[in-house]
Amino acid sequence: MSNFKTLFRKKEKKAPKAQTNLHVVGYRLLGDKPAKCFPFSPKIRENLLKSYLKVNHVVYVSSMFFWSLLAFILALPFSILIFFLLLPLTGVTLQPAIAVIFCLLTSIMVGKVTFGLFIYYPNYVASNVKRKIEKDLVYTVNYMSILSGAGATPGETFSSLVRVGKVFGIDESAKSIIKSIEFLGEDTVTALDMESKSTPSKDYADFLQGYIATTQTGGSSKVYLEAMAEKFMENQKRQLGKVIEQLNLAGEVFVSGLIAFPTIMVTMLSIMGFFGGDVLGGLSAPQLMTLMTYVLIPFIAAGILVFIDAVMSSW
C-alpha cells in the first residue's frame, strides 16, 4: 500500500492544473460569498462529485460568477462597436435609445450563456463518465472476478483498478475509493458506500452496494462477481440489439430519403418541366430541382448523420 501511495502522489502531481487555476482566479477575487448566496450550491457540489472534477464547489461557484460577470463586461464594448459603428455601415441605423437597449441585452445574454455553460459543464462531464463506466462495466466486473478468484482483497482489487482502470473507464472511481481508504482513513466498506452515492451510474452504484452486502455477510465475492458479470452481459446484449435496430432504421431512412425520394422527384419534375409552367408555389421544375438538390437533400443527410451520431455516442 505504501508503494501505491507514492504512485498516487506522483500521478496527482502530474495532473494538469490549468483548469483549477482558472477557477482559483474567481475565488481569489470574490471569495466564498457567491457560494453562500447561491441557492443551488449543494446541487453544484453533487454534480462536481459525480463528474470527478477536482474542483471544490465553493471555488467553482465563485469562478462561475466571476467569469460570467467578466463576459458581460467584455461583451458590452463589442456590442457598442457593432450597433453604433458597424451596423450603420450596412445602411441600418438604430435610434440611440434602442441601440443602447440592444447593447445591454446582448451583453446580458452573453453573461447568461457563460453562466449556463458553467452550470451545464459538470452534468456534461458526469454523463460522459456514466457512459464510459456502464459501457465497460461487464469487463470491469470480469476483471474483478479474476482477481477475487486469485485471492485478492477488495482493497487490492481496487488498487489494481487504479492502474488499469482507464481501459474500463473506471480509473477515477477507483482512485476515489483508494483515496478514501489511504488518505481519509476510511474502511473499505465505507469507502465503497461513499462511492456508490457519488457515482453518476446507477448500475455501478447498485453493483457496489451488492458488493458491500456480499462482503459484510461473508458471502463469496467471486460468486457474486460472476453472477453480476452474466447480468451485465445480458444487459449489454439487449443494448446492442437496440443500437442495431436504430441503425437499421437509419439505413431505411437513408435509402428512402437519399436514394428513392430524389430519384422519384427528379423523374416527376423532369416530366412536369417538359410541359412548362409553374409546378409549386410559383416555382418551375428546374427551380424545384435546384432547391431539392442544394437544400432539401443536404438537410435530410445532415439529419441522418446527427441521428447516427446520437445513437453511437450513447453506446
CB 177 within 8 A of CB 191: yes
- Output the 3-class SS for 100-150: HHHHHHHHHHHHHHHHHHHHHHHHHHHHHHHHHHHHCHHHHHHHHHHHHHC
pLDDT of residue 5: 42
Interval 133-164: pLDDT, tens? 888 888 899 999 998 888 888 888 888 888 88
Residue type, 240: L
Collect the ranges in the chain with pLDDT lower than 70: 1-20, 91-94, 276-282, 313-315
Report yes or no on whether pTM surpasses 0.75: no
pLDDT of residue 33: 83
Place of cell 462531464: 125
pLDDT of residue 115: 92
Residues contacting residue 83 through CB under 8 Å, at least 6 positions apart = 94, 99, 102, 103, 106
